[in-house]
Amino acid sequence: MKKVECLRLGFFQVNCYFLHSGNHILCIDPGASIKRIQQYLEKYPDSVLDGICLTHGHFDHVGAVDELVKLYHCPVYLSGEDEYLARTKELNFMGARWAIITCPIKEYPIGKFTIGAFSLEVIDTPGHTAGSVCLVWDDCLFSGDTLFKNSVGRTDLYSSNDGQLKQSLEKLKGLHPDMKVYPGHAEFTTIHEELLLNPYLR
């Protein structure tokens, strides 16, 4: 059985996704609230956490990574372009909130790769950060803060680039219209809906 479930975590309500394939689980963007994540995983005592995938290095997407690794001893994947951001407190904060990663990080390979029971495709989508990626699993796109429902991510932060974001959105416009889009914040959508309603994809 395959399914996707979501917890909205932390002050910024980041979407933390859990991909299920049989008795295997993959976590995307565990941004906060390790107790809620642990309680969720405890509902599946016979399952294995194959790994953690990060769409980018911002603090609200990585805040529970270190604690999750201590509990489950799983690998963490992030673009090499965002590792410095994810490890540097002075760059990775907003107001009084911040988080960094201290555990080992594996860099995404180019294109398709496998983590445990999961076959994924990595799409390099810089713009919101230099190392932003989108992840494809079957007919699902996990878009991080690159693409939102009817909007896109900010480009006024460290390593952001408006021109790069526009190029990245061009890549996403070419995906199948029926592909489900699971963004880093707010509601889910589809490529078809974004092509119709998102002004940044016109």
Residue 148's Cβ-side half-sphere holds a number of Cα atoms within 13 Å equal to 13
What mean pLDDT is predicted for residues 174-180? 97
Q: What is the reported pLDDT for 15?
A: 98
Give the chain's domain count: 1
- Here the CATH number for the domain that contains residue 43 is 3.60.15.10
pLDDT digits (tens, 9 = 90+) for 12-55: 999 999 999 999 999 999 999 999 999 999 999 999 999 999 99
Please give the order of strands across the beta sheet that includes 118-124. 111-115, 118-124, 133-137, 140-144, 180-183, 189-190
CA distance 184 to 173: 18
pLDDT digits (tens, 9 = 90+) for 183-195: 999 999 999 999 9
The residue with tokens 């609200």 is 60
Task: Give pTM, 2 decimals.
Answer: 0.97
- Rounded (5°) CA angle 29-30-36: 145
In terms of residues, how long is the chain? 202
Average pLDDT over all residues of the chain: 96
By residue range, what is the domain housing residue 181?
Answer: 2-201
Token pair for 139: 């007919």
Q: What is the reported pLDDT for 114?
A: 97
**Helix or strand holding residue 84 (H, E):** helix 83-87
DSSP state of 8: E
What mean pLDDT is predicted for residues 142-163? 97
* 147, 172 Cβ separation under 8 angstroms: yes
